[in-house]
């Protein structure tokens, strides 16, 4: 055989081998074209080497099932659920699978065939699309907030003619940062295999006025019983002193209600009202201590021209005899004067 013929045969053999190799690579490239290339994951699930249908079934099993779990929120030991259906959870695998398959189209048919022939992998992960009904999640969080939201109750003074107490303040409660909880739920619903149990954080709402503050503002309270012609002094709810007094007559009754001490004066002058009963003294000012001044020793006003004062008419004590004021024995009104201050609460019943 001539040298030329030998070289020709060798070249032909190489060409045949190359053609076979290219054919093999091309066949492998085409065979892998309808599969997800090895090494590719969808939502972290390995679907490499699977057909689109096989990948869809595997994803439905490993992701679809977990995605249907409810969200559970612990609200002070009470479990509240939001189902995946209520939240409008819907997962689309098709787009992610299509993109995963297209990962295998990278490069030319020779590189693709070689990768398939040698068991090479494509490094990549495709995300699935998870649809959420945001309004449903918001409504769920709103229901939780409504179930725990409780306004604080301010302390208040509870008055009766024979008792003084304070209705205690009460803490309220509210859901801390509802928007944060809503975002947590949305995030976990978008992660089919993520944690779906949360604890709602409930915080206390403090009252504006506490029990101690009410007592501090009402250390001393004075009550007047018109029917019993009795004045009582309470200190932090405890009866401290009792006086027998005279109150307004049927014609000029002492006004009832809750008041505060407005004015206090030692040996007060008497500004005589322009009333028919005042006679010739109407409109005059009688100096303090004058014999014709009925305001003896002290004045403690709680409703304009109405107040406590001493009287020289001791015989009227225990009756309804005044023109509206509360008459007291001079020693008693002096004692009361030392027990009260401007702003002291006065209840007249």
- Nearest residue to 214 (alpha-carbon basis) of 154, 292, 294: 154
Task: Tell me which of 55, 300, 325, 333 is the catalytic residue.
Answer: 325
Rounded Cα–Cα distance for residues 345 and 197 (Å): 54
Catalytic (active site) residue 301: no
Question: Between 246 and 31, where is the model more confident?
Answer: 246
pTM over 0.95: no
* Residue 275 known to be catalytic: no
pLDDT of residue 2: 62
Mean pLDDT calculated for residue range 330-348: 98
Active-site annotation holder among 309, 329, 344, 346: 309
Dist. CA 274–CA 292, nearest whole Å: 16
195 dihedral zone (left: phi>0; alpha: psi -120 to 50; beta): beta
Per the prediction, the chain carries an average pLDDT of 85
Domains of the chain, each with CATH number or no CATH: 219-348 (2.40.440.10)
Which position has the higher pLDDT, 24 or 262? 262
Closest by CA to 198, choosing from 189, 209, 208, is: 189
Residues 121-146: b if buried by 16+ CB within 10 A, e if exposed: ebebebebebebbeebbeebbeebbe
- Asked whether the beta carbons of 234 and 305 are under 8 A apart, the reply is no
- Condensed to tens digits (0 to 9), the pLDDT of residues 108-153 reads 444 444 445 444 456 678 888 889 999 999 999 999 999 999 999 9
What secondary structure does DSSP assign to 207-253, as a single string? -SS-HHHHHHHTSEEEEEETTTTEEEEEETTEEEEEEE-BEE-SSSP
Contact 63, 192 (CB under 8 A): yes
Of the pLDDT bands very low, low, confident and very high (cuts 50, 70, 90), residue 332 is: very high
Residue 335 CA: distances (Å) to CA of 12, 261, 301, 308? 134, 15, 15, 12
Return the closest-CA partner of residue 128 out of 49, 54, 67: 67
**Residue 282 CB partners (closer than 8 Å, separation 6+):** 272, 273, 274, 275, 276
In tens, the pLDDT along 85-106 reads 999 998 888 888 888 788 766 5
Q: Tell me if 102 sits within 8 A of 94, measured CB to CB.
A: no
Residues 10-24: what's their mean pLDDT? 46
């Amino acid at each position: 055989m001539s040298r030329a013929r030998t070289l020709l045969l060798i070249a032909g053999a190489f060409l045949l081998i190359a053609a076979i190799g290219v054919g093999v690579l091309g066949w492998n490239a085409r065979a892998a074209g309808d599969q997800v290339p090895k090494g590719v994951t969808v939502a972290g699930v390995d679907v490499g080497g699977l057909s689109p249908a096989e990948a869809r079934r595997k994803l439905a099993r490993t992701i679809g099932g977990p995605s249907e779990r409810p969200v559970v929120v612990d609200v002070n030991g009470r479990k509240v659920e939001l189902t995946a259906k209520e939240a409008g959870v819907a997962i689309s695998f098709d787009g992610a699978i299509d993109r995963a398959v297209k990962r295998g189209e990278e490069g030319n048919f020779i590189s693709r065939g070689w990768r398939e022939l040698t068991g090479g992998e494509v490094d990549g992960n495709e995300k699935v699309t998870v649809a959420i009904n945001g309004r449903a999640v918001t409504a769920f969080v709103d229901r939780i907030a409504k179930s725990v939201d409780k306004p604080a109750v301010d302390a208040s003074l509870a008055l009766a003619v024979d008792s003084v107490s304070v209705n205690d303040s009460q803490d309220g409660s509210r859901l801390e940062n509802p928007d944060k909880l809503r975002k947590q739920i949305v995030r976990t619903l978008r992660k089919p295999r993520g944690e779906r149990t949360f604890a709602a954080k409930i915080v206390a709402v403090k009252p504006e006025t506490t029990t101690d503050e009410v007592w501090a503002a009402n250390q001393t309270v004075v009550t007047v019983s018109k029917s019993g012609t009795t004045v009582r002094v309470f200190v932090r709810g405890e009866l401290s002193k009792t006086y027998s007094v005279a109150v307004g007559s049927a014609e000029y009754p002492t006004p009832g209600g809750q008041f505060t001490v407005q004015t206090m004066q030692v040996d007060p002058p008497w500004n005589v009202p322009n009333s028919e009963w005042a006679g010739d003294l109407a409109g005059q000012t009688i100096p303090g201590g004058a014999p014709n001044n009925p305001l003896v020793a002290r004045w403690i006003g709680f409703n304009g021209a109405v107040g406590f004062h001493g009287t020289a008419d001791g015989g009227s004590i225990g009756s309804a005899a005044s023109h509206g004021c509360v008459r007291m024995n001079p020693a008693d009104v002096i004692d009361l004067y030392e027990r009260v201050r401007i702003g002291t609460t006065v209840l007249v019943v």
